[in-house]
Structure 1
Amino acid sequence: MVQAGEPGSTRPGGRTARVRAAVLAAAGDALAESGMDGLDLTDVARRAGVGRTTVYRRWGTVPALVADLLQDMAEQSQPRVETGSLLKDLLANARLVRETLAHPRQGRLFKAIIAAATCDERTARALHRFYEVRISEWAPCVEQAVERGDLPEGTDAREVIRAVSAPLYYRLLASGHPLDEATAERCARAAAVAARAGVYMR
């Protein structure tokens, strides 16, 4: 999570919350359209219909704005599904990741943020926090599978969840192969088989 005192870290309600929502939506649109190089605080203010000084006073820099956008994305992500079945839980996770990355706007948005994170430390930290939130949200489904006896004791739940989404991000960023439903199912099934075989034991 964004540390207390960082720009955009407060959670007030009312008009301030509406301004934040409008600015973050505008920032996301700008990132999806033009990437990090096209993200300008003045342009974001114009898109959001708020004063330029409001944006500069609250966020101050582009990395601070991106950090707040990532925190908001983590908070707004769909909650974990609990089915009582390891495979069904992993399938739900894989489908959610696939739908996000295959979405015309969200896929471009993630590409832009990941590219920026390779050369901007603050964006990288924000991206790492985003994924830690998402991994922490889904890891309990693996822990519950261990408790049920479906997986070996000592299975690293977080590594299992990472294994589900890693091939999907590879397709988004490297191979260019389709992000289709069949691929998402294959990722989930492969992670489940490997976990049962003890591949992800600590």
Structure 2
Amino acid sequence: MAEVETAPGTLRPGGRTARVRAAVLRAAEDALIECGVDGIDLAEIARRAEVGKTTVYRRWGNAGALVADLLEDMAEQSVARTETGSLDGDLRANARLVVRTLTDERQGALFKAMIAAAANDERTAEALHRFYATRIQEWAPCVTQAVERGEIPDGTDAPEVIRAVSAPLYYRFLASGDPLDETVADRAAHAATCAARAGAYAKPREARP
């Protein structure tokens, strides 16, 4: 069997290696929150994590690889979707989770720093895209289940519905600065539900599998 080359920082064995990775990723989070992407200096991260600089440079190599690994870890640790038995309830749970994350003092600052880093680093941008693709994939089945229950039309594009829920929330978070709360979350979820019921996200018949 041919060997597969593993990118720096992506190995996940247990024991000391896992503990070192956890410490370094936590230190990277702290640095991002405190200083933004400019705070991701590998030597400083090693100092914060109380591990050897050589270890950090060998496993991650550069700041982009470290931030990418942090995003992968965040995707793995993300909260699983909620199943309420209705599309509106499921999307409301999704929207409220997004709002709780973005308004959390630590997580909100971390996401802003990640998005800023992605704007200037291709590897970080790719990792951020994978993170959100993972989250959309996690929540898309609630739309598929709604189709099966007859709540919304056949051929509804499940990922597009999930994107429609979070898009106005991220707009407030990153662009307008308008308040983010459960009322806003519920409104975004309800709007996406109504649009889905009206067929706004149904794929053209020729585009369906």
Taking structure 2 as the reference length, what is the TM-score of the superposition? 0.93
**% identical equivalent positions:** 71
Q: What's 1:8 paired with?
A: 9
How much has 1:53 moved relative to structure 2? 0.9
- 1:18 equivalent to 2:27? Answer no
Structural mapping, 1:64-103, within 5 Å:
64-103=65-104
Q: Deviations over 1:132-177 (max 9, x none)?
A: 1000000000000001111101100000001111111111110011
Q: What's 1:35 paired with?
A: 36
Q: What's 2:152 paired with?
A: 151
Q: What's 1:178 paired with?
A: 179
Q: What's 2:207 paired with?
A: none
What do you get for the CA RMSD once the two structures are aligned? 1.1
Q: What's 1:108 paired with?
A: 109
Which region of structure 1 is more displaced relative to structure 2, 113-122 or 160-169?
A: 113-122
Q: Which amino acid aligns with 2:27?
A: A
Q: What's 1:132 paired with?
A: 133
Matches of 1:119 and 1:60, distance apart in 2: 17
Matches of 1:170 and 1:17, distance apart in 2: 36
Gaps of 5+ in 1: none
Rg larger in structure = 2
Matches of 1:182 and 1:199, distance apart in 2: 23
How many residues were matched structurally?
200
Q: What's 1:141 paired with?
A: 142
Structural mapping, 1:28-67, within 5 Å:
28-67=29-68
Matches of 2:78 and 2:20, distance apart in 1: 20
SS of 2:140's equivalent?
helix
Which region of structure 1 is more displaced relative to structure 2, 109-118 or 136-145?
A: 109-118
Q: What's 2:206 paired with?
A: none
